[in-house]
A and B are shown apart, each in its own frame.
Chain A
């Protein structure tokens, strides 16, 4: 049983973190560089899930994913099954829930690229897409890696949203955190460690990876000429 919860958690977290990292590049790029007056509004919307209680967000997503709602009906038709209580629903909910954790560090890294560096790329003749891909993205790799790690770690530890949207179905949508909860509520309460230990290891590994990325990022900070 622990194996299925572990594999579901790993598959969910890896997929969420990787998809979010890919989505974060254009999203953060638009927020930071578009100069659009509405970018502040969009940034607030993207980070809304940071302040909403997870159970409330889970409920809202459950309603939105339900086949009775237009988006839920559309997605159910596309996938061939309703989203709630399925791995696909769990993944979509995780993507929405963890979005700010992936986009935030990337946007922060983009903002730290010196304006002079961007200007120099333009002076040399690079167009915006080239500047973005060959200058901004490479200089922001530590932020992109941080976003991936945070997206992964946050998905491993999420509870309220996966409970509401996934329904805690063993072998299908039961993640490690849900298994730990179930085991702790069981008659003897001792089985919880089976799920708690991997969660502790994932958390420690994520924090360790974050520190390593931060150190590497500091040693690769953009250089301005020394006078």
Chain B
């Protein structure tokens, strides 16, 4: 399978409490793997992920994936999220609290299997959405593809629970399964290990990396602890805060832009 290429030259918008602005250049061509993104709070990690996904309409610059322009602000191109071949797990993602874990996954699965036509079909209008326990959707079996992911991430015993009964780590695992239901070659993961206990982090990291290899997919993975990505990341970059020194994420050349306080983690990673 041909490698996936991602090129971007972006000016991150300044957002109070989210991003201090600055320029980010990305040039990657990989068959699969993980590219870690770290940096101090406010460096624009989450903003970068959201602009790449097309969830933040205030990005300026260029994004090309496999030669297709997703964003080219000079030419007025800015594809919506739905038009970009990407799966995204934004920070602080919650589950739908009116659905059990099973229903959350089935809802995501139905949308990944059959594109939602919205007004064009009557699928959106069904009582199962509002009163799932009246319509039997709480007992529907999981399709094969979903079942495999559920077993892989070890959430089989959570299916009948409501999101309120889950810990932060369990919620994140369900959210990861939901995100990986979409089969694509680019995954944008914003701190996907949030809430996972220290013992489980390594195992989950390896599981995600293996899944990416199988799908020949690449993940841009935002983390606050670069050390935990060391076994799987091919490249790690820290977004700097200074506007004059753009953050560079490139396939070739040494990692650039590491600043304190990440020195300790990076030393650990290099070792």
A, B assembled together = yes
Q: Mark A residues whose CB is within 8 Å of B.
A: 114, 116-117, 119-130, 132-135, 137-139, 141, 220-227
Number of interface residues of B (CB under 8 A): 42
**Distance A124 CA – B117 CA, assembled complex (angstroms):** 13
**Do A124 and B175 touch (CB < 8 A)?**
no
| Chain A residues within 8 Å of B112, by CB | 124-125
A223/B92 contact (C-beta < 8 A), A125-B111, A133-B130, A141-B130 known: no
Complex partner residue of B97 from A128, A130, A139, CB under 8 angstroms: A139
**Do B119 and A129 touch (CB < 8 A)?**
yes
| Chain A residues within 8 Å of B94, by CB | 114, 116-117, 120, 222-225
**Do A129 and B107 touch (CB < 8 A)?**
no
B118 an interface residue at 8 Å Cβ cutoff? Answer: yes
Q: Which of B17-25, B147-155, B165-173 contacts A (4 or more CB under 8 A)?
A: B165-173
Per-residue 0/1 for B92-132: is the Cβ within 8 Å of any A Cβ (1 yes, 0 no)? 11111110000000011001100111110001111001100
- 26 pairs from A and B in contact (CB 8 Å cutoff): A116-B90, A116-B92, A116-B94, A120-B90, A124-B108, A124-B112, A124-B182, A125-B111, A128-B118, A130-B123, A133-B124, A133-B129, A134-B124, A134-B130, A135-B96, A135-B129, A137-B129, A137-B130, A138-B98, A223-B95, A223-B163, A225-B171, A225-B175, A225-B194, A226-B167, A227-B168
Of chain A, the residue at the smallest CB distance from B163 is A223
B199 an interface residue at 8 Å Cβ cutoff? Answer: no
**Do A129 and B124 touch (CB < 8 A)?**
yes
**Do B55 and A119 touch (CB < 8 A)?**
yes
A119/B163 contact (C-beta < 8 A), A130-B116, A139-B98 known: no
B258 an interface residue at 8 Å Cβ cutoff? Answer: no
B82-96 interface with A by 8 A CB criterion: 82, 87-88, 90, 92-96
**Distance A119 CA – B194 CA, assembled complex (angstroms):** 19
A138/B130 contact (C-beta < 8 A), A124-B178, A226-B171 known: yes
A124/B119 contact (C-beta < 8 A), A138-B129, A224-B92 known: no
* Min CB–CB distance B64 → chain A (angstroms): 21
**Distance A126 CA – B121 CA, assembled complex (angstroms):** 12
| Chain B residues within 8 Å of A122, by CB | 81-82
A133/B97 contact (C-beta < 8 A), A127-B118, A127-B119, A227-B168 known: no
| Chain A residues within 8 Å of B55, by CB | 119, 123
